[in-house]
Homo-oligomer: A and B are copies of this chain.
Amino acid sequence: MNGADLLCDTLLANDVDVCFANPGTSEMHFVAALDRKPQMRCVLGLFEGVVSGAADGYARMAKKPAATLLHLGPGLGNALANLHNAKRARTPMVNVVGDHARHHLQHDAPLTSDIESIARPMSHWVRRIGSPEGVGEDAGEAIAQARRQPGQISTLILPADCAWTDLPEGTQARKVAPLAAALTDSDHVKTVARHMAAARKAGKRVVLFMGPQAIEGEAAQVAGRIAQATGVQLMTPTAFRRMQRGQGAVDIARLPYVVDLGTKALADCAELILVGVNAPVAFFAYPGKASEIAPASCEVRRLSRNDEDALHALQALAEALGVPAHGASVGAAPSIDLSAPSNGKLTSAAVNRLVLKALPEGAIVVDESVTSGREIAQLNMGAAPHDWLSTTGGAIGQGIPTAVGASVACPTRQVVSMQADGSGMYTCQGLWTQAREKLKVLTIVYANDTYAILHGEMQAVGTQEPGDNARRMLDLDQPSLNWSQLAQAMGVPSRRVDTVEAFVDALKAGLAENGPFLIEARI
């Protein structure tokens, strides 16, 4: 057994049994170790942005970390954008980044770089393995840190010689104890509850602003009961990790992306109660506009810190508010009209409605629809029950890889990947992994040949009619991309459609496929 074997065994002993990978020479001993462990599922990405994005999607659905395998500083660099998104999602992840052997570093070989510096901005925890004997302890700590609530990015740097050196006979991997989440102080909860009750009694608008843990599963149910009993409203940031949506789900509003709409959504809010999340801020600053979304008159109170157990905090809040433990957690099912025209020119509005209407129960919707799908948030409560995963850190190119990972975690569920074209091009290589792994992912590309969001921003800075240089940087036309061909080039069957009729047909075909399919929706 060498260091690489011990690393592999430690991952497996702690239930980390999927490795999204793009290895290189310095990781070859780790690859050989993985090769000796068929119980580890290795999934190749043809670019590291696919690797990190897939690990994100996987953990969102599996509720446990995957490992990634990355090749030195540049490989980690390629993974950074989706690590940034995963860090913002608070997704648990264990990155293994190979580096040169310890004695080789001093020679500044071409692939040498300062891996720690590259890793830190997009990791919660970084460690360089110092010796072959230390591999087990370091790997265990990386896993424990990744699992720390509400989820962390661990990055472990593995020098090649620490992987290739043989260890004493009898060396064994150990299972690490989970780090318990902190619990919110009960007196503090009571104080918050008193303020909330007083505000509600005075007829004021109170909003529970909820983080990643609070909007999922049991926590969302408790929040729903609180809302039902007290009339407080539930909201989450624009960018969130995972939410249950559709008929019967607790309706948690998503804060709109556009600053003015966000401000409007909270305009008359008197008390904003933070549950494992920070107060809402604008994605970007604009001249003359505030960064904070809540009005200055709004009292912002924190129920629980981001590292505290959100379910516990919400349960304690419910109790303090006297909310019945088994009351209803949702109101009447909202009546949402998902009807769309049955023919004619395809539009993003038609795509959104047709997809949501056709969504099979238990689907996983990966949403990188950017401008084209903004109304999904208002419509998807009318669909069959499903999970909804959003882009979290604002780094585009998350959709296709996240769909890969979600499908690896839940192979029997239909993944529907709602993908803007400009963003999709960032990590289009992920389509190949969908084909390789035969993943049941239906990708819908909103093909409008432009970074539509940036045209809006150009207008916001006062440029009504962009000139040649601006258009050359904001539009994807000349030439227009052929997504259907792109998918087929990577082994994913596809159709290119521009009418409602053809889209409906393609949607039927795509959902019937027992593997990946892509629809290029020309809108």
Contacts and interface: CB of A to CB of B under 8 A. Distances in A.
Nearest to A101: B285
Contacts of A77: 77-78, 80-81, 84, 122, 395
B100 A285 contact: yes
18 contacts: A23-B473, A25-B453, A28-B458, A32-B463, A42-B469, A74-B395, A78-B80, A78-B81, A78-B397, A104-B285, A110-B239, A110-B394, A113-B122, A160-B284, A164-B287, A425-B432, A482-B489, A485-B486
Copies in the complex: 2
A25 B457 contact: yes
Given A34-B469, A428-B428, 14 more contacts: A31-B474, A35-B466, A42-B469, A42-B472, A42-B473, A73-B121, A73-B122, A74-B85, A78-B78, A101-B285, A107-B281, A111-B393, A428-B429, A482-B488
Given A283-B109, A461-B29, A40 B469 contact: yes
B425 A28 contact: no
Interface stretch (A43-51, A54-62, A329-337): A43-51
Interface in A1-44: 21-26, 28-29, 31-32, 34-38, 40, 42-44
A235 to B, nearest CB: 16
A110 B283 contact: yes
A222 B110 CA distance: 27
Interface residues of A, number: 108
Interface of A: 21-26, 28-29, 31-32, 34-38, 40, 42-44, 46-47, 49, 69, 73-75, 77-78, 80-81, 84-85, 88, 100-101, 103-104, 107-111, 113-115, 117-118, 120-122, 160-161, 164, 237-239, 278, 281-285, 287, 291-292, 392-395, 397, 422, 425-426, 428-429, 432, 435-436, 453-454, 457-458, 460-463, 466-470, 472-474, 476, 478-486, 488-491
Contacts of A47: 397, 425-426
